Amino acid sequence: MHDLTAHPIFMNGLAFLTAALLILMLVRFAQYVATASIENGELRYKTRKALGLAGYLLGLVIGIAIFSDQIGNLAVIIGALSVGIGFALRELIQNLIGWGAISFGNLYKPGDRIQLGNNMGDVMDIGPLSTTLMECGGWVNSDLYNGRVVHVPNNLVLRESVINYTPDFPFLWDEIVIPVRGDSDHRLARTLIESVGKSVQAQIAEAAHEAWTNFVRYNRAGEAGLESVVTLKFDANWIEFTLRYITDYRVRRSTQDKIYSAILEQIEATAGKVQIATPPLRVTHLPAMNAPEKPHAY
């Protein structure tokens, strides 16, 4: 035991652990003091991350300084254990690679709404090992928060698609379907649905055009219609109108509510000229079944 504690690598390791603990305490104290008076959330987050990164760099420098006279021995030890270390720490290494891909590939940043694998939510933090999301959806049938905080391993970006709702163009194309009875005035129905779409679209038209102009300036993308569009198709049951429009990704559900409510009010004002269709009810007549007569008792 005395030989182990007297070994230079053991003493250097103990010194490094002590220095790392002191650096951690110093970084936490600096983060608390530096961010206490910052009201802007994004600036506060970046300040905390910058101080944390400075702590990592300081620890690396101190580690190199402490082990500078043992670099040769460390190389031999690490080389001998490289296979075992690589197997045991493969998840850790993949997470670090994923962190690098996120950071330098600009896949997403704090504040973005993303879908990573089966997880969708707003990015709260990006750490070396995992990304923290405020989850949306799940058992909630909408794009709103459900209250859960999810920690997603960074290595997921290496094997799953990353869907980002936010960068450069924070709008989505959405559609709603309105079924109308076949004996309704389909021209009047189209007119009132178009008017509702245009009135809702007018609230974000200027911001959407500006965002799309900036988007195509830096990205290769074709022409896209930003105005609301109504299309029609029909079958034996009803006429089906589809309203296509753009909306801010944060208010997609509430925008749907506004459009549906406005269309229903417009339809009610037509005094029956336009009526919402319902699935046909089919009544099947079952033939009468004669029960067998019971035998008479003698």
Q: Is there a domain that residue 22 lies in?
A: yes
Share above pLDDT 70 across residues of the chain, in percent, rounded to a whole number: 81
The answer on pLDDT for 22 being more than 60 is: yes
Structural domain count, the chain: 3
Average pLDDT over residues 208-230: 82
CB 203 within 8 A of CB 247: no
pLDDT of residue 290: 64
pLDDT tens per residue across span 140-150: 777 788 889 99
The answer on pLDDT for 246 being more than 70 is: yes
Partners of 234 in the beta sheet? 239
CB 266 within 8 A of CB 194: no
pLDDT of residue 274: 92
Average pLDDT over residues 172-201: 91
The answer on pLDDT for 265 being more than 90 is: yes
How distant is the alpha carbon of residue 87 from its chain centre? 31
Domain of residue 70, residue span: 7-88
Q: Is there a domain that residue 96 lies in?
A: no
Residue 256 and residue 176 share a domain: yes
Q: Is there a domain that residue 129 lies in?
A: yes
pLDDT tens per residue across span 27-76: 888 877 777 777 777 677 767 777 777 777 777 777 777 766 655 555 55
Of the two residues 199 and 139, the one the predictor is more confident about is: 199
Total Cβ atoms within 10 A of residue 205: 15
Q: Is there a domain that residue 137 lies in?
A: yes
Average pLDDT over residues 86-106: 80
Q: Is there a domain that residue 220 lies in?
A: yes
Residue 211 and residue 263 share a domain: yes
pLDDT of residue 269: 92
How distant is the alpha carbon of residue 52 from its chain centre? 25
Average pLDDT over residues 166-171: 79
Share above pLDDT 90 across residues of the chain, in percent, rounded to a whole number: 23
Of the two residues 281 and 220, the one the predictor is more confident about is: 220
Domain of 183: which CATH number?
3.30.70.100
